[in-house]
Chain A
Amino acid sequence: MPNAGLRVSHLTKRFGSGDTEVVAVRDVSLEVAPGEVVLIMGPSGSGKSTLLLMLGGLLKPTEGTITLDGLELSSLSENRLPDIRLHSFGFIFQDFNLLSALNVQDNVAIAAELAGAGRKAAVAKAAALLTELGLGRRLHFSPEKLSGGEKQRVAIARALVNNPALILADEPTANLDSSHGHETMRLLRDIASERGRSVVIVSHDARIKDIADRVLWLEDGQFKRVVEMATDPVCRMSVERELAVTGVRDGETYYFCANGCRDEFLGAKAVPV
């Protein structure tokens, strides 16, 4: 699909007018391909959340366009946005935001029901997805009986149940301990790699760099720095391409955390760059 993925072009969001005008996002452009994980970082008040809200169709941009799989979202009427959010986006929140009255399975099924699935089909779909995410034994648990990591997996299942093209995650690891944070990061990486979804994460958590293909630094509503990430093929560590040790094998460039890994990978054929 030539237009597949997310394309953001010259996006601006202003709040207020005249002397009280605040430009939260200023002329931001971005492309996220299917299967790609993009991490947006930046200080508090830099415009990350505003950008995420606009990407998710929850806030109208003042200027610019957002196109998802060829459909221009920014020009759609408010009336059409709920359906787009249901079918094209999966939202993952910092606080998990599960419905406390529903059990694990129903928390996921309800998103499918909203999208038009019948109750039986929605429940079956939810159960299959939750089982795939390792929660097969927790289907009928109340959310309050789950660990933080489990709750986030339920939230991820809810985000995935309608097969959206784009997953938007707002600080997905903020309320998780290190181990559950890593588990969530791995899941988000798998969603991109194995399911071909575009994943955009807004976070302060630098650990997420490890699973990102690109890291964008947002400051004063603008991208100030773009970091391309790569994975060291030997130790699997995530490295910034710009700063990494590189080597070429069979005409392809690889990025390493240190010379030791490069030497081990390239061996006799080592062609340091």
Chain B
Amino acid sequence: MTVAALSFGSAPRLAFLNLVQDKLRLILSVVGIALAVMLILFLLGLRAGLFESVRAYMANTPGSVVVLPQGVKGTVAAGSGEYLPAGAAETIAGTAGVARAIPILQTRAMPQFHSKKEAVYLVGYDPALGGGAWDLAKGREPSADDEIVLDRVLADRHNFAIGDTLMMSGVALKVVGLSKGTSSLSGSYVFARKSMVETLTLSPGALSAVVVTPAPGTAAGDLTAALQRSLPEASVLLKSQVMDNDQQTLATMIDSVLMLMIGAAFVVGALVVGMVLYTATIERRAEYGILKAIGARGGALYRVTLSQAVIAAGLGVLVGIGFAYLMGSLVQTLKPSFPVSIGPSAIVLAVGAGLVMALLGALIPARSVVRLAPAEVFRR
């Protein structure tokens, strides 16, 4: 005697044939799941893109240790008016194991772009030491105090080009360069010489951060501890910690809304699978009853129902991934300040979400099939 179950390949085959028999329903279900997956992926991609953009400045500034004002854990808070203690730059430079130190003065500013104002991250740096735009699309770094490098997307948005003048706190600043990868939803970057930012913030000699590169043979952790000892009135952190803190700050702001939207998309996807399968199962109730009457066990029919869900969800996930990439590039083209980064981990998550949608969606239809009494298929 056997186990009265369909072989491994037969259940999916029957499931597939059941699905393709009603092509319109299959298309609708695949599109429904695809839209849910697309939304999930797009939102995850947007989240990842925002995280990348908030980490971008630190990630591209040389060094592995960051010295910040006391109590400050990240650069997102820059511009809050907290600065490193006076003489910090000299103390850092004089600490053993420091190979390079990049002083930065960062603040939030609201320059006048023609008729419109927009909040930006204004980064003051010394071109000789580093800390400016890491990827210049056009032009050059500021060589004078009244010169700035503008984020390219920001410049495009406000029809600014090299040679144009931007007014900031009553000071005319000439655009001499356009940078790439420095735009984000929370604000684009504008780079100026540190001395100019000191003037604009009325804070001569102020420093909001110093990014430090350890000398060869010096471990970043050891240097962090040494700098903390030298500057007890500052926060000394590994650069990776600062980037994580910045990401965490952003996550706190956006995650609750994004996760709610992702959850809604997931529920809609699971409902689509569930409804499609339920109606398909009810319509084939008699056929499932026949299979049970001739000897199929509940497990075999469960496998057929589950296979239908997995096939529909699998196709939906594939189409959804395609849709998400299309939507991502469309958004990047139309709204470059919306960074969308769909990485392998988001894809894995979307595939997992699709599978869970399929399993949840198949639950009720499968139960109804398993509970079906085969005697029902006989004429009464």
A14–B10 CA distance with the chains assembled, in angstroms: 39
- List of B residues within 8 angstroms of A84 by Cβ: 295
B86 contacts partner chain A, Cβ-Cβ < 8 Å: no
Whether a CB of chain A sits under 8 angstroms from the CB of B155 is no
Asked whether B253 is an interface residue with its Cβ less than 8 Å from the other chain, the reply is no
Q: For B286, what are the chain A residues with a Cβ–Cβ distance below 8 Å?
A: 95, 97
Q: For the side of the interface on A, what is the size category? A: 20 to 34
Stretch in contact with the other chain, from A107-115, A212-220, A261-269 = A107-115
Closest-CB distance, B225 to chain A (whole angstroms): 68
Give the size category of B's interface with A. 20 to 34
Q: 8 Å CB contacts to B: which residues of A72-100?
A: 82-87, 91, 93-95, 97, 99-100
- Compute how far the CA of A249 lies from the CA of B357 in the bound complex, rounded to whole angstroms: 76
Residues of B contacting A83 in the complex (Cβ-Cβ under 8 angstroms): 1-4, 295
Taking the closest CB of chain B, its distance from the CB of A41, in whole angstroms, is: 15
How distant is the Cα of A34 from the Cα of B377 in the complex, in angstroms?
A: 27
Query: What residue of chain A has the Cβ atom nearest to residue B379's Cβ?
Result: A94
**Within the assembled complex, what's the spacing in Å between the Cα atoms of A100 and B292?**
16
Inter-chain contact B1/A158, CB cutoff 8 Å: no
User: B294 to chain A: closest CB distance in Å?
Assistant: 6
- Whether the Cβ atoms of A53 and B9 lie closer than 8 Å is no
Chain B interface SS verdict (over half): helix
Task: Decide: A110 and B6 in contact? CB cutoff 8 A.
Answer: yes
> Are the C-beta atoms of A97 and B377 separated by less than 8 Å?
yes
B4, B18, B20, B292: which contacts A115 (Cβ < 8 A)?
B4
> Does A114 lie within 8 Å of B291, measured CB to CB?
yes
- Contact mask B8-52 → A, CB, 8 Å, 1/0? 011000100110110000000000000000000000000000000
Interface residue? B348 (CB, 8 A): no
Evaluate contact between B21 and A82: CB separation under 8 angstroms.
Answer: no
Asked if A114 and B296 make an inter-chain contact with CB atoms under 8 angstroms apart, the answer reads yes
Residues of A within 8 A of B380 (CB): 49
Mark contacts of A44-64 with chain B using CB atoms, 8 A cut-off: 1 yes-contact digit, 0 otherwise.
000001001100101100000
Give Cα A119 to B300, complex, Å: 15
Residue from B2, B6, B10, B294 in contact with A158 in the complex, judged by beta carbons closer than 8 Å: B294
Confirm or deny: B5 has a beta carbon within 8 angstroms of a beta carbon on chain A: yes
- CB < 8 Å: which of B3, B7, B21, B375 contacts A58? B375
Interchain CB contact under 8 A, A101 and B295: no
Report how far A59 CA is from B374 CA in the complex, Å. 9
CA distance A111 to B5 in the complex (A): 10
Measured in the bound complex, the distance between the Cα atoms of B295 and A86 in whole Å is 5
Contact between A100 and B14, CB atoms less than 8 A apart: no
Within the complex, the shortest CB–CB distance from B380 to chain A, in Å, comes to: 6
Taken together as a complex, chains A and B put the C-alpha atoms of A113 and B303 apart, in Å, by 14
A10 to chain B, nearest CB (A): 22
| CB of A118 within 8 Å of the partner chain | yes
In contact, B296 and A170 (Cβ under 8 angstroms): no
Complex CA distance for A93 and B10, rounded to whole angstroms: 24
Counting CB contacts under 8 A, is A228 at the interface? no
Chain A residue at minimum C-beta to C-beta distance from B9: A119
Known A-B contacts A82-B296, A86-B294, A86-B295; A93 and B377 likewise in contact (beta carbons under 8 Å)? yes
Q: Do B9 and A114 touch across chains, with their CB atoms under 8 A apart?
A: no
Q: Is B136 an interface residue (CB 8 A)?
A: no
Q: Is A171 an interface residue (CB 8 A)?
A: yes
CB nearest neighbor in A for B290: A97
| B297 is an interface residue with CB less than 8 A from chain A | yes
Chain B's nearest CB lies how many Å from the CB of A58? 4
Most A CB atoms within 10 A — which of B18, B21, B293, B377? B293
Among B1, B374, B378, the one with the most A-chain Cβ atoms within 10 Å of its Cβ is B378
Contact of A85 (CB < 8 Å), options: B10, B20, B295, B379: B295
CA distance A179 to B9 in the complex (A): 39
A9 to B379, CA, bound (A): 24
Residue B156 interfacial (CB < 8 Å): no
Known: A97-B290, A110-B14. A58 touches B5 (CB 8 A): no
Interface check B255, CB cutoff 8 A: no
In the bound complex, CA of A49 to CA of B377 (Å): 11
11 examples of A-B residue contacts, CB within 8 angstroms: A49-B380, A52-B378, A82-B297, A86-B2, A93-B378, A95-B286, A95-B379, A97-B286, A100-B287, A113-B10, A115-B295
